[in-house]
Structure 1
C-alpha cells in the first residue's frame, strides 16, 4: 500500500512540475524544474529501499540471522542528498538570473522576452 501511495505522489509531482514548466512565466518554469528534480529524488530514494534494518546491527527480532535481512541502500541516500544540495544552488542561481532579466527587460513573460530579442 505504501508503494502505491508513493507512486501516486511521485506521479502528481511530475505532473505538477510539467504543468509549471509549460507556463509563460520564467519563475514558474524555474519552480517546475525544481519540482521535477525533487520528484526524481523521491523516486530514487524509493527505489533504493523503503524499509529495513541497519546493515551492521544484529537482528534482535529472533530471526536467527546474524544481521538485518532487508536493509536500505545508503549510497542512494547519499547521492540524493548531494543532488538536493546541488539543486538548491542551481535554483538560487536561476532565480537570480530571472531577477536580472526582469531588471533588464521589465518583464519575465517568455513571449514578451522573445519578441524583444
Structure 2
C-alpha cells in the first residue's frame, strides 16, 4: 500500500512538473511575443508552402514554421529530411524570384 502511495505521489509530481513547464513556456512566449512549437506536423506538400520562419532561440524545441497559401502555419522539425528538402527548394524559389526582380528592374544602355 505504501508503495502505491509513493508511486502516485511521484506521478503527481511528474505531471505537475510537465504542466508547469508547458505553462511557463506558453507564458514566456506570450511575454516575449515569440512563437514556440510544442508538436510537429507531418509532411506538408511543398506546393502549398509559401514561406518559412524559425522559432525563437528561447523556445524549448528548435523548430521551423511553414506558412501555406491560405495562411495556415505548421510547426515542423528542422532535423527531418523532408523539411530540409522543402527549405532548400523554398530558398531557391526566393533566390530565383529575387534574381528575376533584379533583372527586370535593370536597364541596359548602349
- Relative contact order: is structure 1 or structure 2 higher (C-alpha 8 Å, sep ≥ 6)? 1
Q: TM-score, normalised by structure 1?
A: 0.31
Larger radius of gyration: 2
Greater percentage in strand: 2
